[in-house]
Amino acid sequence: MSHLSLPQEIPIQWIHPDPLQPRKLFNTDTIHELSHNIKQLGLLQPLLVKQNSLQHFTLLCGERRLIAAKNAGLEKVPIIVRDDPHSQSLTRLMQYSENVFREELTAIESIDIIIQLIQDGISTQQLSEVLGKRHDWVKAHLLANTAPYRSLFESGRLKSISVLLVFRSLPLPAQRQLLTDTCPITSTLCQKIRQRYKESDPQRELPILNTITTSHRESLVTPVPRSTITIPLNPLWLRGFVTKKALIQAIEKIINEQLTKDIKQA
């Protein structure tokens, strides 16, 4: 059964923004362009609203169009009234879908609305199917709402859930040190760190990461303490080798045995 009315026109001052609308910030340039188009062509797509009383309507979808219509000086706008007796969660999901497909939400706005939808009883799997997003992307919003990740989003060091997923794929030592650093955590930085971990000796964590952020005074990874390797370079020991090759092989054997011991103890 449909809960939507036929399109109609009402005075624009009767429509009030929804305080639960996930999007809080709007691009002024985009609003200006849309306002110019509305002046030329009118508001072609009706606003979706909920009627509270005879002259009071709450906007459900289309706040960007409403702002642009006001800037364009429209006195009346076309609307469609949604009369749905069910919970607010469907409205939130509609609002979120409208914004997420345009990629207009900030990371914090996205985190807050996903958390609210889950609290309303919508599962992460259902959100994944409705939004057409990967399940791990939806679930990552739960992680993003916890310490210390939310503070990273609030400070601007993390700017998207996708980057958080890449960050979480890094080795734990790199994650720990990046959390205490002050540089922006970007997908490019995380990919470089992960690639250099693959290419280099896993025992050389410190030099690997230092080459990426040379402008930082501190390294991104705290070095793991190593044991001191003692090689008995005394004349009596050296005379036991007939060739230089045999001496080099003996030294390599001592080093490899100690490194193997370090790895087992780490």
The helix/strand/coil state of 192 is helix
Pairing relation of β-strands 15-16 and 56-61? Answer: parallel
Pairing relation of β-strands 47-53 and 15-16? Answer: unpaired
**Integer Cα distance of 227 and 174 in angstroms:** 22
Report residue 103 as tokens.
């990629």
Peptide bond into 207 cis (omega under 30): no
**Integer Cα distance of 209 and 193 in angstroms:** 6
Report the candidate in 37, 47, 35, 39 with the shortest Cα–Cα distance to residue 11: 47
**Integer Cα distance of 209 and 211 in angstroms:** 5
Catalytic residues: 63
* β-pair partners for 15: 57
